[in-house]
Amino acid sequence: MPQLNPNPWFLIMTLSWVILIFTMPKIIKHEPTNPISQPLQQEQYTAWTWPW
């Protein structure tokens, strides 16, 4: 069972986290070039009537 051998998977996991940590500030700073011009409307929900 290869998932019990942590050698390749631990390296892949740590590299993934390192890449994520270094790219996350750049992703968070990103602003869309075409922002939404309409205000978002909150949807109205009705209560669920349970039969019991």
- For residue 43, the one-letter residue type is E
Residue 15 has a pLDDT of 94
| 10-47: pLDDT as tens digits | 889 999 999 999 988 888 887 777 777 776 677 777 88
Q: Could you give the CA distance from residue 24 to residue 31 in angstroms, rounded to a whole number?
A: 14
* pTM for the full predicted model: 0.44
Is 9 within 8 Å of 3 (Cβ atoms)?
Answer: yes
